[in-house]
Amino acid sequence: MKDDRIYIFDTTLRDGEQVPGCQLNTVEKIQVAKGLEELGVDVIEAGFPISSPGDFNSVVEISKAVTWPTVCALTRAVEKDIDVAVESLRYAKHKRIHTGIGTSDTHIKYKFNSNREEIIERAVKAVKYARRFVDDVEFYAEDAGRTENEYLARVIEAVIKAGATVVNIPDTTGYCLPEEYGAKIRYLVEHVDGIDKARISTHCHNDLGMATANTMAGILNGARQVEVTVNGVGERAGNTSLEEVAMILKCHKDIALDTNINTTRIYPMSRMVSSLMNMPVQANKAIVGRNAFAHSSGIHQDGVIKNMTTYEIIDPKDIGLDGNSIVLTARSGHAAIKTRLEALGVELTDEKLDSLYNDFLKLADKKKEINDDDLLVLAGADRTANHHIKLDYLQVTAGLGVRPVASVILDIAGEKFEAASAGNGPVDAAINALKTIVKRQMVLKEFTIQNITRGSNDVGKVHMQVEHEGKLYYGFGANTDIVTASVEAYIDCINKF
């Protein structure tokens, strides 16, 4: 297939969403999908429909919600999976089935207890079956990164003959070196009969920090589709970052391959995904990290003031960072908030905007300036509306030389329950009080407080993981009072048990 550009396949809503604690509901997924459409991605992998009714429903709703991008559904090389995927894609204007099987010897032996020939047969059968329903079938050779090239070429040749239009070469474990991954793609270009009938796709994981480098090596050796996620979210160390690949191709005109990405939507999209998934972006993350454009050394600042190109290879405006965003305060009106939220990719009904505006005023009373992150937290604030257990009242006493104590009132399905307890700090005391009301086996496994660096009046965001009956539950809380945010995060976990 002769392509003169790079196709962006976004898997934020499938591979990205597999991160524990980052699951989105269908409404949130539609919001992300629409944002991706505006960003200009070519393919949205919307889910793995057989895996759960929620995933199935999300593929259905995303198919209805977007127009231009191809909507893709993942399956194993199993007919039942393909049937369910076909059903979930019934409203998609452009549809793709992504089917595949493990091809490395490790997968063949331990996952399938099978042999190489049988795996080729199963792959071919699945592709042929999927082609009965859709014209666009992508095949993935799971663990291709550790699959011997000669055998991989045989698999790929067979699935192209069976009708695959895209062939995905995942480095599932993030093991490959860029040179090795690039050589693998080159090997397929040179040794697979009929390779010109399909588009080669990269799908790299970041376990050794090489996902973007491997993806670029793939492109330089003939791949024309890249599978990526916003902010590089994904299981373990994540997937290749969409924004990194898009900006590399924009900066490196020497590569002479464009994408369809409207790069000015990159930053709003990054904020939206981070906020909805409750997944902070590391400060020094390339392109979208808080410090990506912050020059602190005097020499750099001096140079950038004289001429931006002395130390910056990207104009922040190119990724949608306007630098002169409006400062929102208690005097800002509905229109300013609506405009800022839209710039961040969030559209609200008038009714929702009214209720957000009340919360905005309360927050603006507590802190002078409201930033984008605060707004996004407010926009997601009604996530607790349907909670069975709610925090009704909290009082803590703590300080130097004082034994921390807390009293808590919980509203459980409309009934009030009260308890008080001591602890080794205010959060510990409050959680102990909470545990005397909710008598379940619970162990706090992770506790992160974020975003209190911009001032003592800032909103603190708390991410928690609580273990209950062998399973981990993720919770989130946000408040200018860090103890309240912590208790809210704990209660958010309990509500998910």
Q: Are 262 and 40 in contact (CB under 8 A)?
A: yes
Minimum CB distance to Zn ion, residue 247 (Å): 22
Q: Does 147 bind ligand KIV (CB under 6 A)?
A: no
The Cα–Cα gap between 6 and 42 comes to 9
Residue number with CB closer to ligand KIV (83 or 235):
235
Minimum CB distance to Zn ion, residue 327 (Å): 40
The Cα–Cα gap between 486 and 479 comes to 9
Minimum CB distance to ligand KIV, residue 205 (Å): 6
Residue number with CB closer to ligand KIV (168 or 275):
168
β-bridge mates for residue 256, sequence order: none
Q: Does 81 bind Zn ion (CB under 5 A)?
A: no
Over its C-alpha atoms, the chain yields an Rg (Å, rounded) of: 25
Minimum CB distance to ligand KIV, residue 27 (Å): 25
Q: What angle do CA 474, 478, 481 make, to 5 degrees?
A: 125
Which DSSP helix (H) or strand (E) runs through 248?
A: helix 242-251
Q: Does 15 bind Zn ion (CB under 5 A)?
A: yes
Secondary structure (DSSP) of 203-222: EEB-TTS-HHHHHHHHHHTT
Report which of 432, 436, 431, 437 is spatially closest to residue 475, judged by C-alpha positions.
Answer: 431
Instruction: Return the amino acid letter for 230.
Output: V
- Contact region with ligand KIV (CB under 6 A), list: 108-116, 167-175, 286-294, 418-426: 167-175
Tokens linked to 7: 């196709």
The beta-strand segments (E) located in 186-255 are: 199-204, 225-228
Residue number with CB closer to ligand KIV (168 or 225):
168
- Contact region with ligand KIV (CB under 6 A), list: 60-68, 165-173, 333-341, 483-491: 165-173
Q: Are 460 and 480 in contact (CB under 8 A)?
A: yes
Minimum CB distance to ligand KIV, residue 182 (Å): 18
Residue number with CB closer to Zn ion (273 or 341):
273
- Please, which residues have CB within 8 angstroms of residue 240's CB and are 6 or more apart in sequence? 202, 203, 204, 206, 211, 212, 214, 215, 226, 227, 228, 229, 232
Q: Does 140 bind ligand KIV (CB under 6 A)?
A: yes
- Contact region with Zn ion (CB under 5 A), list: 12-20, 153-161, 242-250, 271-279: 12-20
- Contact region with ligand KIV (CB under 6 A), list: 117-125, 168-176, 178-186, 414-422: 168-176
Residue number with CB closer to Zn ion (46 or 487):
46
Q: Does 15 bind ligand KIV (CB under 6 A)?
A: yes
Residue number with CB closer to Zn ion (239 or 479):
239
Q: Does 172 bind ligand KIV (CB under 6 A)?
A: yes
Q: Does 10 bind ligand KIV (CB under 6 A)?
A: no
Residues near ligand KIV (CB under 6 A) are 15, 140, 142, 168, 170, 172, 203, 205
Question: Which stretches of the chain bind Zn ion, using CB under 5 A?
Answer: 15
